[in-house]
């Protein structure tokens, strides 16, 4: 594979414990940036939605909210996680120091440009990061002969394509509804979560509970992923409602069967585990609501938010606590404040998804309460983890 200069710069050959601790591994700047964005952006959106803040950015507030939660917040965590995990997968150094700082600054500049700059500037800045990171990962994986994880880098390219399609549609250069591009982005994020959850949740559970054995059924694993991918694809392209609903329903059932084999009830006394199991349970809920939404459109928005707030938000708060603890040399035992953050994200999902269905007359109350719970959860994360993410590991190791 020929060398692309910018990729060579972004792949250091040495990883000595030197330089700013904040820029030693990808999870540090991207986890912190994502948490700050999550804490600020959702209440800002609610103020606009409730008419308490008049704001007229180049992008409509609704599209800004959806885009930033998916392609600002969630994608930052995915980037931070993959650039950290790739080091373990390949044994090769991932971007650190000023190259990592440049990537983080590119992400931050796009977030700022979204609310301050002409739309074209935002679009250009925002479309650069994902393909760069994807190509860096692909090159590392190929150098190490690690083909098992290449599909994850491929999903990152698909996420980049969805993001590019979104910006082109907003600019009027692509005949496509911007919301459809955002749906495609959500579908890709869900697929990333399905793949990674199938690896880490059973593994984390078994390592934390000696004697627990979880054996994957290959046909069930493949069926769950295939049905989910197909169902989400049919939904994104607006295929006939019957086929879409049936496929999404089958996918939901497959995920229920998949998770049942992980014995989630055994983790109820271990918050760092139950948050992952609880969040994963929103996948069949979300797919089921989307399936119903093909017949009753009222369940479409709850289905979207079951996947976006319930699954994505929950898995993120669970993973950015666990992995940040591990990679800063700390124990995998969360404090009461971190458990509160878990509970708040779970409550936010419940308020955003289920209560509006049960009591639609109080929808503004539920949405406002959900925004407050969500923001508090990630504010807690920032308060606890910002010092850890900006300081060296407590065990003196690099990373």
Q: How do residues 250-275 score in pLDDT, each as one tens digit?
A: 999 999 999 999 999 999 999 999 99
Residue 2's pLDDT band (cuts 50, 70, 90): very low
Q: For residues 5-34, give the mean pLDDT.
A: 75
> Residue 160 and residue 179: Cα distance in Å, rounded?
15
Residue 7 lies in a domain: no
What CATH number did the domain enclosing 32 receive? 1.20.210.10
pLDDT in tens, 73-96: 999 999 999 999 999 999 999 999
Average pLDDT, the chain: 93
**pLDDT at position 238 over 70:** yes
Residue 395 lies in a domain: no
Residue 6 lies in a domain: no
Q: What percent of the chain has pLDDT over 70?
A: 95
Residue 377 lies in a domain: yes
Q: What confidence score (pLDDT) does residue 201 get?
A: 96
Q: What confidence score (pLDDT) does residue 54 get?
A: 84
Domain ranges, residue 375: 25-390
Q: For residues 124-151, give the mean pLDDT.
A: 95
Q: For residues 366-377, give the mean pLDDT.
A: 97
Domains identified in the chain, total number = 1
> Residue 204 and residue 279: Cα distance in Å, rounded?
15
Q: What confidence score (pLDDT) does residue 396 get?
A: 84
> Residue 143 and residue 354: Cα distance in Å, rounded?
47
**pLDDT at position 186 over 90:** yes
Contact 226, 199 (CB under 8 A): no
Q: For residues 283-291, give the mean pLDDT.
A: 97
Contact 52, 381 (CB under 8 A): no
Instruction: Read off the pTM.
Output: 0.93
Residue 53 lies in a domain: yes
Residue 17's pLDDT band (cuts 50, 70, 90): low
> Residue 318 and residue 302: Cα distance in Å, rounded?
22
Residue 10 lies in a domain: no
pLDDT in tens, 23-65: 999 999 999 999 999 999 999 999 999 989 888 778 899 999 9
Residue 144 lies in a domain: yes
Residues 6+ positions from 1 with CB-CB distance below 8 Å: 139, 142
Q: What percent of the chain has pLDDT over 90?
A: 88
> Residue 2 and residue 203: Cα distance in Å, rounded?
36
Residue 331 lies in a domain: yes
> Residue 70 and residue 68: Cα distance in Å, rounded?
5
**pLDDT at position 8 over 90:** no
Q: What confidence score (pLDDT) does residue 13 get?
A: 47
């Amino acid at each position: 594979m020929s060398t692309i200069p910018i990729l060579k710069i972004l792949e250091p050959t040495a990883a000595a414990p030197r330089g700013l601790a904040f820029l030693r591994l990808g999870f540090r700047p991207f986890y912190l940036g994502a948490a700050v964005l999550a804490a600020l952006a959702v209440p800002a959106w609610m103020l606009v939605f409730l008419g308490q803040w008049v704001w007229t950015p180049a992008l409509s507030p609704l599209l800004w909210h959806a885009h930033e939660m998916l392609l600002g917040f969630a994608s930052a965590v995915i980037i931070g996680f993959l650039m950290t995990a790739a080091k373990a997968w390949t044994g090769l150094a991932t971007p650190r120091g000023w190259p990592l700082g440049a990537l983080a600054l590119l992400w931050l500049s796009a977030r700022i440009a979204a609310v301050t700059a002409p739309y074209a500037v935002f679009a250009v800045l925002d479309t650069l990061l994902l393909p760069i990171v994807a190509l860096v990962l692909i090159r590392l994986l190929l150098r190490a002969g690690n083909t098992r994880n290449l599909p994850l880098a491929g999903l990152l390219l698909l996420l980049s394509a969805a993001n590019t399609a979104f910006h082109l549609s907003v600019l009027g250069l692509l005949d496509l509804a911007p919301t459809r591009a955002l749906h495609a982005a959500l579908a890709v994020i869900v697929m990333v979560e399905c793949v990674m959850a199938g690896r880490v949740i059973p593994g984390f559970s078994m390592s934390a509970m000696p004697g627990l054995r979880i054996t994957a059924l290959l046909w069930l694993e493949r069926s769950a992923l295939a049905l989910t991918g197909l169902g989400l694809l049919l939904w994104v392209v607006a295929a006939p409602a019957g086929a879409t609903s049936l496929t999404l329903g089958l996918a939901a059932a497959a995920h229920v069967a998949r998770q049942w084999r992980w014995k989630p009830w055994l983790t109820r006394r271990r918050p760092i585990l139950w948050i992952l199991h609880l969040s994963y349970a929103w996948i069949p809920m979300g797919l089921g609501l989307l399936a119903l939404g093909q017949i009753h459109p009222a369940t479409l928005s709850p289905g979207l938010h079951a996947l976006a707030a319930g699954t994505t938000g929950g898995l993120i708060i669970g993973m950015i606590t666990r992995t940040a603890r591990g990679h800063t040399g700390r124990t995998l035992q969360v404090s009461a404040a971190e458990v509160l953050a878990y509970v708040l994200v779970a409550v936010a999902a419940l308020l955003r998804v289920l209560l509006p269905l049960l009591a639609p007359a109080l929808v503004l109350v539920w949405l406002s309460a959900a925004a407050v719970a969500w923001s508090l959860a990630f504010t807690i994360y920032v308060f606890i983890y910002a010092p850890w993410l900006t300081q060296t590991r407590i065990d003196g190791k690099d990373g």
